[in-house]
Structure formats: C-alpha cells, structure tokens
C-alpha cells in the first residue's frame, strides 16, 4: 500500500478512531468496511476483536430464550414464520408456567445470566402480561435468581411500568432493519412505533436490547444506515440475526448470507458500536456453520444465545460453552451484572 493509500485506508482510520478513541464509524465509513475485499477480512476481524476486547473486555454474556406464546401473530413481518398471515408450518401454542420454570432452570444450569421470555404478538394483552407476571413469580419461587428479559412486542407506557414492577430487567424489541428499508419488510406497523417503545423502555430504567436481521434485501448502504441507527439508540445489547428463509414466508426463496459477508457485517457493527454487547442470534449456523461461530467470537461478538432460537433449532448449549472454554473467554457471571 502506498503512503497516500494508507492515509485513507478505512482499517487504519478505524484503528485510530474506534480502537484508540472509542468513537464508532459513520455511515460512509461503514460502507467502506462493508465493501472491503475478502483478502482483508482477516485483518478486519482482528481489528473488531481488538475493539471488543478493549471496550467490552473478554467476558461473554450467555442468554437462554423461551417462547411463551408461539405463532399466530397478526403482524406481517415478511421474514417471520410466526406471522399468522403466511402459510408457515408454525402453529399457535402457549407454554404453561411449569414449562417456563423448567426452561429457566435449564438455562441457569448452563451458566447463562439472562433468560428471555418471548411472545409472538403485536403487543401484550392483559392475559399475556398476567401470564408473564405469574411466570416470573414462579421462577423466583423456584429459587432461580437469573435475570429476566422480555420480548412482547410494542408497549404502552402503562405496560412498560407494569414490566418494571414485575422485575423485568431488560426488554428486547428489534428495529429489524434500516428505517428506509422497513416498509419493504413490515406493513402492519412502522419503524417509528418500534423506536418509541424502545425510548419508553429506556426512560423506565430497563436495559434496551434491539437488533435485527441481515439479508432481507437491504443494500450495503442500508446495512450501514441500520448500524448507525442502532448506535444512535445506544442499546445495551444488539442481537444480530441472519435471515433464515423460512418456508411459507415471503422471503422463503431469499439467498442465505454468505459466510464472509456475515462476518464482515458483524465486524462492521462492532466498529459502529465499540461498547455494545453484540449477540450472535438466529441464522448463525446456516451462514457460518460450526466453525464460523468461533470466527465471530474472534471478530467482535461478545454474547451468545444458547440452545433453541425460538422456532429454529440452534446447536446444543454444551457445544457453545465448550467453544468459549477453548477460546479462553469467560462467561459473564450473574453477580457482575446485578
């Protein structure tokens, strides 16, 4: 590389700006990262890993997830097998309280610190909220002190307050994609409605968890736009999913994001958000295979979901935990996060 080229080299700039100063990359800078040649991927992942170690440390947060209410959702998110509007094989089902308590105990036993209760709904109704309240109470009565997160769709202020009262410490609500691309993905509600819920969650003192799905027909510019919008939200955690083209959904024939592209995107999101917890969520095995999980952990990721990802099977928890041990990445302990 010539001296002039080195001056404008995006990885060199990112090293000084993100690694040294902790300032995330701009949208224009992220486009440059997302279009880097494959032969610079290793260098990019190395930098993303250094950024993660410098600004987040070596710990990895492990989370378990359970579906309290599956399928039959009235919304039309085009990627989602739980929408009742598409002919997917997912059927509507509820998990009972003993099932929830058992899932929470199993999650705690893996060493996870976070247990997320998820429901496929536009927003919670009275029945769902009272089920969540009873569920949290039963988990505590079981002697389980795991931190509880919820993902129940869009909320009113009253519902936000109710969740705080129940002891929900983190709320997940994904922005899913860039604001400019959202109307192509969902037509039954807006990106701004999702944003409003997240603002209320933050103001009420719960931790904010919000991410999305890569590979839904967005352009490279929109991927960069999305990363910058997430950075602006300043979430505590960003779950990154890669599209699983679920049968019956409008996206069933979309191509799977290729491994190198997925890793480049993970690294770019790390360079946009040096301090945020970046979590590997759904679609990981499909795009990256087993080895890719390891590459991601060395390329900016510092949190994982163990076990099942709602309706798509992930690999067994033990495999992920072994991988973390091999990589000498300690699991974040519960008492550190309280």
Using CB under 6 A, list all residues that contact ligand SF4.
Answer: 73, 75, 77, 80, 82-83, 120, 122, 153
56 in a known ligand binding site = no
- Strands, DSSP E only, in the chain? 61-70, 93-94, 114-119, 147-151, 170-172, 207-209, 212-214, 237-242, 277-280, 303-305
Instruction: Report whether 75 contacts 189 (CB < 8 A).
Output: yes
For ligand SF4, which is the closer residue by CB, 191 or 332? 191
For ligand SF4, which is the closer residue by CB, 120 or 263? 120
Altogether, the residues listed in the chain come to a count of: 338
Closest approach of ligand SF4 to the CB of residue 337, in Å = 26
For ligand SF4, which is the closer residue by CB, 35 or 190? 190
User: What is the DSSP code string of 123-146?
Assistant: S--HHHHHHHHHHHHHHHHTT---
- Exposed/middle/buried for residue 269 (C-beta within 10 Å: 0-12, 13-18, 19+): buried
Instruction: Describe the crossing of helices 27-34 and 259-272 by its angle, rounded to 10 degrees.
Output: 160
For ligand SF4, which is the closer residue by CB, 14 or 198? 198
**Rounded distance between C-alpha atoms, residue 116 and residue 315, angstroms:** 18
Closest approach of ligand SF4 to the CB of residue 84, in Å = 8
Closest approach of ligand SF4 to the CB of residue 331, in Å = 29
Provide CB contacts within 8 A for 187, sequence distance 6+: 76
Closest approach of ligand SF4 to the CB of residue 159, in Å = 15
Closest approach of ligand SF4 to the CB of residue 83, in Å = 4
Would you give the DSSP letter of residue 230?
H
Instruction: Report whether 307 contacts 65 (CB < 8 A).
Output: yes
168 in a known ligand binding site = no
For ligand SF4, which is the closer residue by CB, 46 or 72? 72
Which residues contribute to the annotated binding site for [2Fe-2S] cluster? Answer: 116, 209, 279
Which residues contribute to the annotated binding site? Answer: 73, 77, 80, 116, 209, 279
Which residues contribute to the annotated binding site for [4Fe-4S] cluster? Answer: 73, 77, 80
């Amino acid at each position: 590389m010539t001296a002039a080229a080195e001056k404008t080299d995006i990885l060199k700039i990112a090293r000084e700006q993100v690694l040294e100063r902790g300032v995330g990359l701009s949208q224009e800078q992220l486009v440059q990262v997302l279009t880097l040649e494959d032969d610079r991927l290793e260098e990019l992942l190395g930098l993303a890993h250094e950024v993660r170690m410098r600004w987040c440390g070596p710990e990895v947060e492990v989370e378990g997830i359970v579906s309290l209410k599956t399928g039959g959702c009235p919304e039309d998110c085009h990627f989602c097998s739980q929408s009742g509007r598409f002919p997917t094989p997912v059927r509507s089902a509820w998990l009972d309280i003993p099932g929830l308590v058992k899932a929470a105990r199993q999650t705690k036993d893996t060493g996870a610190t976070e247990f997320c209760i998820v429901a496929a709904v536009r927003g919670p109704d009275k029945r769902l909220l009272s089920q969540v309240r009873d569920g949290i109470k039963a988990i505590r009565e079981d002697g389980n002190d795991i931190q509880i997160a919820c993902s129940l769709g869009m909320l009113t202020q009253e519902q936000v307050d109710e969740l705080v009262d129940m002891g929900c410490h983190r709320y997940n609500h994904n922005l899913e994609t860039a604001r400019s691309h959202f109307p192509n993905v969902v037509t039954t509600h807006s990106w701004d409605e999702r944003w409003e819920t997240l603002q209320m969650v933050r103001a009420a003192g719960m931790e904010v968890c919000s991410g999305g799905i890569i590979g839904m027909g967005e352009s490279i510019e929109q991927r960069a736009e999305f990363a910058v919008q997430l950075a602006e939200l300043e979430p505590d955690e960003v779950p990154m999913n890669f599209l699983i083209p679920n049968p019956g959904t409008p996206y069933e024939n979309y191509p799977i994001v290729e491994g190198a592209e997925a890793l480049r995107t993970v690294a770019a999101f790390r360079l946009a958000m040096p301090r945020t917890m970046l979590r590997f969520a759904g679609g990981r095995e499909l795009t990256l295979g087993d080895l890719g999980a390891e590459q991601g952990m060395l390329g900016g990721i510092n949190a994982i979901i163990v076990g099942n990802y709602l309706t798509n099977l992930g690999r067994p928890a033990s495999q992920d935990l072994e991988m973390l041990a091999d990589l000498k990445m300690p699991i974040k302990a519960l008492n550190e996060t309280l």
